[in-house]
Amino acid sequence: MYFCNVVSKTRLYQLIALYNSIRDTCADFKVFVLCMDNDTARILKQAELENAILITLEEIENEVPKSLKSTRSTSEYCWTLKPVLLSYVFEHFENIDWLTYLDADMYFFSNPQKILSLSDSCSVLLSEHDSNEQIKFVEEAVGRFNAGLVSFKNSINGKDCLHWWKKQCLKWCYNTTVTGQFGDQKYLEDIFILFKDTCPITVPGVNIAPWNDAKYSINLKEGKLYINDDPLILYHYCGFRLINKNNCVFMFGNTCKPIIHNPYMKAVKDTVNLVESIEPGFDGCFIEESKAGKFQTFSLDTIWTAQNEAGGYC
């Protein structure tokens, strides 16, 4: 499988954790990583992630109007570059059948190949938010589909759709819902209408997240996590933020659920230790202390130790 990601140093630890989860669940894969800053590029190069192909910002910015970078925030510019990166990979690398974009705060628990179960009949795969009833209304503002997981087929229809999305994001991509749009994400609703071979991902256990996990029974069977009776494939850790190398918070109203978060805490802590061994002075991944003070703080070590002492995930 072929994946890609746009990452800055603020999500570097989580990107490495995501990469490791793909390595542990997928036999044959490549991850194309657009490095948004020199720190990210330097550390990832030294991390020697065997199946990661690093792409610098300079390599793709010739396809972007120079004025955009100064008029959009870092996160808005990252969103803008998602379809730009997807197009770049299709143009410069051969033999890619499907290319799947993943946000850095995702983590695989079982084989990602199942995501492409509709690959024979579709050219674009979109992930529905499928929100809990209590927050379903939010989708009216941010969109029916989540832009953290989008997959395109290397076909005429797939690339036509990608070209349209790229054009729209270059034109407008901001972190606001006032205009009826929202970043790169609300465009996915238009894609679903305009391009007939666009399909929702219907595989159970994909893109489970804080906005929908209350709908499911989450349990552990023989060492593997299940959502109801289906294996958990991909969890989206939206709202997880590191304060420093030892502590984290859960933003946007999210809460710590040990059965889901403990294995991720361990994975992130492992990447913290890896980066520490590469560059001990690196500390560019943390949210501002002033923002962190609004939330309950959790220790990565304490949570993982408590899990071990309990003899399981909960």
Tokens encoding 207: 């893109």
Q: What is the pLDDT of residue 314?
A: 30
Q: What is the pLDDT of residue 286?
A: 66
CB 79 within 8 A of CB 181: no
pLDDT in tens, 219-241: 999 889 999 999 999 999 999 99
Q: What is the pLDDT of residue 288?
A: 61
| Mean pLDDT, the chain, integer | 91
Q: What is the pLDDT of residue 251?
A: 85
Concatenating the DSSP letter of every residue in the chain gives -EEEEEE-GGGHHHHHHHHHHHHHH-SS-EEEEEE-SHHHHHHHHHHT-TTEEEEEHHHHGGGS-TTHHHHS-HHHHHHHHHHHHHHHHHHHSSS-SEEEEE-TTEEESS-GGGGGGGTTT-SEEEEE----GGGGGGHHHH-SEEEEEEEEESSHHHHHHHHHHHHHHHH---S--TTS--TTTTHHHHHHHH-TTEEE---TTSSB-TTTGGGS-EEEETTEEEETTEE--EEE-TTEEESSSSEEEE-TT----HHHHHHHHHHHHHHHHHHHHH-TT--TT---HHHHTTS--EEHHHHHHHHHHHTS--
pLDDT-based confidence at residue 271 (cuts at 50, 70, 90): very high
Tokens 């006032």: give the residue.
178
Of 133, 130, 170, whose CA–CA distance to 146 is shortest?
130
Q: Check residue 128 and give left, alpha or beta (phi > 0: left; psi -120 to 50: alpha).
A: beta
| Distance separating the N- and C-terminal Cα atoms of the chain | 32
Single-letter amino acid, residue 133? E
Single-letter amino acid, residue 285? C
Q: CA-CA distance, 297 to 289, in Å (whole number)?
A: 11
pLDDT in tens, 149-199: 999 999 999 999 999 999 999 999 999 999 999 999 999 999 999 998 999
Count the Cβ atoms, other than its own, within 10 Å of residue 85: 23
pLDDT-based confidence at residue 302 (cuts at 50, 70, 90): low
Q: What is the pLDDT of residue 287?
A: 63
Q: CA-CA distance, 277 to 261, in Å (whole number)?
A: 24
Q: CA-CA distance, 294 to 271, in Å (whole number)?
A: 26
Top CATH class of 2-200 equals alpha beta
Which of 148 and 314 is assigned the larger pLDDT? 148
Of 234, 74, 76, 212, whose CA–CA distance to 144 is shortest?
212
Q: CA-CA distance, 214 to 87, in Å (whole number)?
A: 36
Q: Is the pLDDT of residue 200 over 90?
A: yes
Q: CA-CA distance, 274 to 293, in Å (whole number)?
A: 27
Q: What is the pLDDT of residue 298?
A: 86
Q: What is the CA radius of gyration of the chain?
A: 19
Which of 207 and 294 is assigned the larger pLDDT? 207
Q: CA-CA distance, 28 to 79, in Å (whole number)?
A: 27
pLDDT-based confidence at residue 67 (cuts at 50, 70, 90): confident
Q: Is the pLDDT of residue 144 over 90?
A: yes
**Average pLDDT of 51-73?**
93
Residue partners of 58: CB distance under 8 A and separation at least 6: none
